[in-house]
Chain A
Amino acid sequence: GIQVEQSPPDLILQEGANSTLRCNFSDSVNNLQWFHQNPWGQLINLFYIPSGTKQNGRLSATTVATERYSLLYISSSQTTDSGVYFCAVDMNRDDKIIFGKGTRLHILP
């Protein structure tokens, strides 16, 4: 099956810093999404981005489908950005969604 690898596994930054999270996938995908899991376990949809670039406030994401990777950028980090960021993909519209292992981000005040 398709493999999804996220890096780095852990990231500790000072408030105000910028960060880049990476997601590599082993095969062509139909869909790619980025999520933020908050301390209560809720998965928050950040981006639906099978290809191209999107921006939402301090967050932006880029997926280069031909090279099988996606990047999530967080600028001017805040302590509320702390948590786990997951990349998830599927290979076709009716297929199951497979998650990477996540990047655990900790923003220090």
Chain B
Amino acid sequence: GAVVSQHPSRVICKSGTSVKIECRSLDFQATTMFWYRQFPKQSLMLMATSNEGSKATYEQGVEKDKFLINHASLTLSTLTVTSAHPEDSSFYICSARRFGRGNTEAFFGQGTRLTVV
């Protein structure tokens, strides 16, 4: 089956530093990837849509300058949390869709648990 790999799975960083999270589609190409954020015991909230070769589309209320997204290739998107603060601590998860024969199934990475201290 399709696999989306996310790295790192867990990161602890100091307040004020930046953290980069990678999302790779391992066995298919993804022109579009999605980044979600999940707080404890809540649902996944879409942060932005990452588009290969162009700027990301951010959801309302998501700071573009804080959450930098780069979709450098058809298999890699990165999310950089800049100048992280404790309120940025959360579970971040990426998704990519595999297209084929009318099927547009989405697959998700393992998620990254970010703790800012």
Contact = CB atoms under 8 A, between A and B. Distances in A.
Question: For this complex, into which size category does the number of interface residues on chain B fall?
Answer: 20 to 34
A96 B46 contact: yes
A101 B104 contact: no
Interface in B36-64: 36, 38, 41-46, 49
A48 B103 contact: yes
Majority secondary structure, B binding face: strand
Interface stretch (A15-23, A37-45, A59-67, A68-76): A37-45
A88 B34 CA distance: 13
Given A33-B106, A48-B105, A88-B106, A41 B43 contact: no
Contacts, number: 54
A42 B111 contact: yes
A93 B34 CA distance: 13
B72 to A, nearest CB: 20
Nearest to A93: B104
B81 interface: no
B108 interface: yes
A30 B104 contact: yes
Contacts of B104: 30-31, 90, 93
